[in-house]
Structure 1
């Protein structure tokens, strides 16, 4: 970047594409550049901070949905400020780009004031918004200790609530849904009830199950929410108030040893395997994990069954591949390392699937 940021004004920062990209979509390179700029040019530090906050607040404000009766008040305030700003600039010839920047600053100030006096719209209060809007009586458990707290829900489901976390739930699970609200981290062991789905709302992400065990990490200050499944199946989807269609149809179904990462900023769901997939078979079934000159198809099939994963490979190319090995004590990825090393193959994870690449065997 060869721009003279040392002499930039507030308007120039707010309309600079590289600066906006750094604020909204920081990369290692841009973060290093602007942090160095702040360090080497202390006179610009406060201006850079103000411009950065302005862009962030505009991004947040653009996603908020104000009540219909509040909208005229907001725009009256903004319009008044804009008129005042426009009058003060009478006689000046400025480009549209700088007028947009000035208007943006006024908009940020007006919306910032409005956001502060209306607690329901604070970005960090999703949990509070949902619990307050519940039509049913809510019970809350807050874990301020340094260890996990056990919580038993009305239907007998068990929750392990980790420190600095809070959990709210309906005092009785009567009706069409068993609804739970989480801010923080918890492990759920849900009682099966095919007639009444179990739903967890966790800072923008919705997890829906019938009966299973899974964990959720959803702290308000974090940029991501994660869900990983231990047993059963889980439907995960983003919670969007302005979405007309069924949001669950755009979600992801997770099975054991899978997890999803939800980016709050981009509102994107990414599925992958958990770091250490666990065996889904008992000790007796594991005795079959010894192979003597076995076709690779048989070995891959056994791994799929043992870990609940899908292994994709070219069966025709690897049709002649055979292996003698014991795979009882290693982790899934250690097993894959052994197999691929023996067959001169490689593997990668794509959308929670294991994709094997091989040139075949002689």
Structure 2
């Protein structure tokens, strides 16, 4: 049912009777139709938004009755002159009424001549919370929650997910997640505990970054004034990618996958990802499972493998080099990095974190007969 609009450009939308009717008199059914359309063709979001602005503009200007044909021709001549006489397909000058002027406004918006919008190109690259929310509300109204208090504020979403909203932060979402995705818009910082639903992915839009999950818990820090956006994962898995990658057939392949105790720092200026471990990795196993991790004169390789299971991190080491290294220790008291310092000190090794992995450097240990 969406195929008709698969290759539409801005001018095509504005000249479409059903599209015009939706902008003029939106209904629950038409809102859902266009929301689902954008989920199927996310790359059409800029064209749809520009077309909606054009239709709204014409409604505000009262262009129900077009001026004389001669004036219309002059408008098109001016557009072509601004574009150094690049030929433009003239839409509907033989037609009467709305479509002719709608097409003209659409072309003005698409080509950036700037009669009505000085920066229409910016609308095709949403980067701020306000812009993202305004675009989302062209499809359906959103609920906004703001936390101006010193204490975290708990927000219960319609799907059972819970957001802990931190100070000076705000979040917007639909009253009902009716489409194929559950979409939330954030500025500031918040912890998300998402209800699992593999059939309806959960998407968080935070400035230039999109975080996609099926069901997990994670934290996002994305204040408007900050140079970086940080996403850290507590449980489950999330994928993060730049918002502009939404036009890619598979945007997740352009970003990064995060697992527990990992975080990514997204530099907004150059859209660069830097994955690492969180400052204080948490234990992922139960107390009962932890009881088995007590070692007496055990191979250090076995201890490293245990740490990988306990914290869900990758520890890279040369098993042959440390084959003679043995220690007596337990994994119950210190943090991950404290444990690593103790182990490395005991075998004369060092460690560093690279791309969310712990890399061990060692000269080995003398063999004890």
The change in CA–CA distance for 1:210 and 1:241 in structure 2 (over 3 A counts) is closer
The residue correspondences of 1:180-199 to structure 2 (distance < 5 A) are 180-199=184-203
Alignment check: 8 A CA contact 1:345 1:359 kept: yes
Question: May I ask how many residue pairs the two structures share in their alignment?
Answer: 268
- Of 102, 123, 126, the match for 2:128: 126
C-alpha displacement of 1:320: 1.6
TM superposition shift of 1:177: 0.3
So what's the TM-score if we normalise by structure 2? 0.66
Out of 336, 339, 343, the residue aligned to residue 339 of structure 1 is 343
Rounded to whole Å, the distance in 1 between the matches of 2:251 and 2:121 is: 26
Aligned to 1:173: 177
Which residue does 1:25 correspond to in 2? Answer: none
Partner of 1:210: 214
Q: For 1:325, which of 320, 323, 329 is the aligned residue?
A: 329
Matched residue, 1:271: 275
Displacement after TM superposition at 1:175 (Å): 2.1
State the shift of 1:226 in Å: 0.4
Q: Give the match for residue 298 of structure 2.
A: 294
For 1:154 and 1:325, the matched residues in 2 are separated by 47
- Once the two structures are superposed, the pairs formed by residues 232-311 of structure 1 within 5 Å of their partners are 232-240=236-244, 243-311=247-315
1:153–1:75 distance in 2 versus 1, CA, 3 Å: farther
Task: Note the alpha carbon deviations across 1:243-297, whole angstroms, 9 max, x for none.
Answer: 5442211111111100000000010111000001011111122222321010112
How far apart, CA to CA, are the structure 2 residues paired with 1:143 and 1:190?
20
Alpha-carbon contact 1:124-1:221 (below 8 Å) kept: no
The alignment yields a C-alpha RMSD, in angstroms, of 3.1
Distance 1:317 1:149 in 2: 51
Runs of at least 4 residues off by over 3 Å: 64-70, 72-79, 114-125, 241-245
1:142–1:167 CA contact under 8 A, matched in 2: yes
Distance in 2 (CA, whole Å) between partners of 1:116 and 1:160 is 38
- Specify the alignment match of 1:48 in structure 2: none
C-alpha change, 1:129 and 1:75, in structure 2 (3 Å) is farther
* Shift in Å, 1:156: 0.6
Measured in 1, the distance between the counterparts of 2:311 and 2:127 equals: 38
Distance 1:331 1:76, change over 3 A: farther
Q: Deviations over 1:46-85 (max 9, x none)?
A: xxxxxxxxxxxxxxxxxx9996999x99999999xxxxxx
Q: CA deviation at 1:116?
A: 7.6
CA distance in 2, matches of 1:318, 1:148: 47
- Look up the match of 1:316: 320
> For the Cα contact (< 8 Å) 1:216–1:228, is it kept in 2?
yes
- Give distance in 1, aligned partners of 2:154 and 2:205: 19
Distance in 2, matches of 1:166 and 1:172, equals 18
1:359 aligns with 2:363: yes
Matched with 1:220 is 224
Unpaired stretches in structure 1, ≥5 consecutive residues:
1-63, 80-110
TM-score (norm 1): 0.67
**Higher RCO, 1 vs 2 (CA within 8 Å, ≥6 residues apart):** 2
- Unaligned stretches of 5+ in structure 2? 1-45, 55-75, 85-112
